[in-house]
Amino acid sequence: MHIHAYEKLWLAASVLLILFLLGSVTYGAVGPGVAMVSDSEPAIDAGALDEDDRFSEPRVEQVGENEYAAYVVARQFGFQPDPIVVPANSTVTFYVTSADVIHGFEVAGTNANTMVVPGEVSEITVETDGPAEYGIVCNEYCGAAHHAMEGKLEVVS
Ligand code: CUA
């Protein structure tokens, strides 16, 4: 009887340990992946962007006194709009989605950089200063012309 009770305890303990391990593996695998993009944005149908209010016409919109929203679509092999034109000395939030495969959206020479995943909307906010021109590059391999996929960001006064 004595030994039997210990066996049960060990069995219960190992089952708990296995459940705990499974739980932490799942959390570890899903957690950071989801945190990469804005999780406040609802999922989006990559195949129906032309029916989406924000992305059917990729554009820059004024949303506050000195605040702008840039709705950007990445697709093989470019970005829309091109160029993206935003005012100097303002706050710009980029909402970027993909019409096909995974792309990158990096404003070259700055720390503005995000992965662009079909079905999701990536969000990055930047503060612009003086007028300048930046290249936008895709840094996720997305097909034969990946290396040529680029856009332009124009900060104008
Ligand atoms: Cu798009 Cu690489």
Q: Are 116 and 104 in contact (CB under 8 A)?
A: yes
Q: Give me the residue spans of the domains in the chain.
A: 1-35, 46-156
Nearest alpha-carbon partner for 140 in 123, 118, 121: 118
Tell me yes or no: is domain 46-156 CATH 2.60.40.420. Answer: yes
CA distances from 25 to 19, 21, 96, 105, 143 (A): 10, 6, 30, 29, 31
Regarding the beta carbon of 142 and ligand 1, being less than 6 Å apart is answered: yes
Beta bridge partners of 94: 70, 124
Residue with tokens 């990445």: 74
First to last CA, the chain: 85
Nearest alpha-carbon partner for 124 in 95, 88, 82: 95
Q: How far is the CA of 149 from the centre of ligand 1 (A)?
A: 6
Comparing 151 with 19, the larger pLDDT belongs to 151
> What is the spatial distance between Cα 117 and Cα 121, in angstroms, rounded to a whole number?
7
> pLDDT tens, 26-37?
444 443 433 344
> pLDDT tens, 98-141?
999 999 999 999 999 999 999 999 999 999 999 999 999 999 99
The predicted model gives 69-81 an average pLDDT of: 98
CA distances from 65 to 61, 62, 87, 89 (A): 11, 8, 12, 12
Regarding the beta carbon of 44 and ligand 1, being less than 6 Å apart is answered: no
